[in-house]
Structure 1
Amino acid sequence: MQTSAYLAGLAAGAGLIIAIGAQNAFVLRQGLQRRHVGPVVLVCIVADMALILLGVAGMGLLVKQMPGLLQVLRYAGAAFLAAYGALALRRAWNGESGLQPSEEGSAGRRRALLACLAFTLLNPHVYLDTVVLLGSLSTHYEGAGRWSFASGACTASALWFTALGYGARALLPVFRSPLAWRVFDVLIAAFMFVLAAALLLQPLG
C-alpha cells in the first residue's frame, strides 16, 4: 500500500509541478544564465515540500476557508507577474543578453531568491494545487500511506526543479546568440502578461 501511495503521490506531484508556469519559466532562465541555480532550485523545492506537507497535514480546509487571503494573493501575484513581464520586454527591447556579466554577489543572489519566493508564494493557485488538491488526494490513504503519498509528491518536486535548473545548460549553444535571448524574453513577457490576466479573470476554487 505504501509503495502504491508513493507512486500515486509522485504522479500527482509531477502532473501539477511540470505544468508550464511562471515559477518554471523563472527557474529555466536562471538555469540558462547559470546564476544562483543551486539556491533558486533549493528554494523552489523547500517551498513546494512545505506546502505539500501542510496539505497532507490537513491545512487544505483552512486555505479554502480564507478566500480573502487568496484574493489578496491574486492581485499581488498579478501585479508581480505584469511587472516581471515588463522587465522582460525591456530586456528584449534593449537587446540584453542573458549571458552578459551581471552582479553575482550577495545582492544579486538575494534578488533572485526574493523573485523565486514571489513566483512561488504570490500565486493562489499554488496553494489550491499543493495544499488543497494534493492534501485532498492524500486522504485516500490512511496512516503511513498518506505520508508515503506526500513523499512521492515531494520527490517529484525535487526531481523536476533540479532537472529544470541544471538541465537548462543543454540549451546554452542556442542562447549564445543575442537574438535568441530577445525572442526568449519576448516570449517570457507575453507569458507573464497572459498569466497575470488569467489570474485576475479565472475564478479561484
Structure 2
Amino acid sequence: MFQAMLHGFLLALGLILPLGAQNVFVFNQGANHKSLKKVIPVILTAGLCDTLLILLAVLGVSLLLNQYPSLQLAIYIIGLLFLLYMAWSLWTEKPGDATDQPSMSARKQIGFALSVSLLNPHAIMDTIGVIGTSASVYMGEEKLAFTCATIAVSWVWFIGLAVIGKQLGRLDASGKYIVILNKVSSLIILAVAGIVIKNMWTLI
C-alpha cells in the first residue's frame, strides 16, 4: 500500500509542477488579493475539479476518450475558446485598489477556475490519461491509497500556490508587479493554448 501511495504522490507532483494555466490562475489570484480568505473560492474550485478528474481517471474514463477522437476534438475546441478568453482577461485585468476590493469576484473566480480546470484539454488528457493508466495496475486498498495520494497533492499544492501568491501581493503595495504578473500569466496561458492547437491538428 505504501508503494501505491508513493507512486500516486510522485506522479501527481510530476503532473502538477509544470507551470500550466491552472497553476498560473491560482497563483495569480493569490497575488491579486490581500486576504487569503478571498481566494478560497478559487482554491476550493481548483481542488474539487482536480479531485473529480482524478476520480474519473481512476474509474477508467480514459478508455472512453481513446475510443472517440471526435469527443477529444470537441473538448479541445471548447477548452481553446476558454483559454483564449482567460488570457485576454488576465492581460487587461488591474490589481485591487487600496481598499482591498478584489479585482475578480468570487463568482468570476469560480467560473474561471472551472474553465481552466475542466475545460483545459491539455490538463484533462494528462490527468485522465496518465493517472488512469497508472491506477489500472492497482486493486482494492492499493488503488484507494494511490487515489488519495494524488488528490492530497492537488489540494496541498493549490493552497501553497495561493499563499505564496498572497505574499507576493503583500510585498507589492503599488500593484505594479501584479500587473506584470497578470501579463506574464496571460502569455503562459497563450502558450498552453498553442499546445492545444497543435494537439487538435493531430486529430484532424
> Is the pair's TM-score, using the shorter chain for normalization, greater than 0.5?
yes
* Alignment correspondent of 2:65: 63
1:108 is displaced (CA, Å) by 2.2
Report the CA distance shift for 1:98/1:188 in structure 2 as closer, same or farther (over 3 A): farther
CA offsets 1:2-35 (integer angstroms, 9 cap, x no match): 1110111011011111211111111111111237
Report the CA distance shift for 1:13/1:49 in structure 2 as closer, same or farther (over 3 A): same
* Alignment correspondent of 1:89: 91
* Alignment correspondent of 2:175: 178
1:87 is displaced (CA, Å) by 2.5
1:113 is displaced (CA, Å) by 0.2
1:95-106 → structure 2 map (5 Å cutoff) = 96-99=94-97
1:44 is displaced (CA, Å) by 1.0
Answer whether contact 2:41 2:110 (CA < 8 A) is retained.
yes
Cα distance in 2, alignment partners of residues 111 and 102 from structure 1: 17
Letter in 1 for 2:46: C
* Alignment correspondent of 1:72: 74
Letter in 1 for 2:13: A
The number of residue pairs the alignment matches comes to 198
2:141 corresponds, among 141, 144, 159, to 144
1:199 corresponds, among 178, 188, 196, to 196
1:75 is displaced (CA, Å) by 1.8
Structure 2 segments unaligned to the other structure (5+ residues): none
1:202 is displaced (CA, Å) by 3.0
TM-score (norm 2): 0.86
Answer whether contact 1:56 1:147 (CA < 8 A) is retained.
no
RMSD of equivalent CA atoms:
2.2
* Alignment correspondent of 2:165: 168
Structure 1 segments unaligned to the other structure (5+ residues): none
Report the CA distance shift for 1:6/1:26 in structure 2 as closer, same or farther (over 3 A): same
CA offsets 1:147-167 (integer angstroms, 9 cap, x no match): 111111111111101111123
* Alignment correspondent of 2:20: 21
TM-score (norm 1): 0.86
Report the CA distance shift for 1:66/1:101 in structure 2 as closer, same or farther (over 3 A): farther
Report the CA distance shift for 1:111/1:202 in structure 2 as closer, same or farther (over 3 A): same
Cα distance in 1, alignment partners of residues 91 and 135 from structure 2: 41
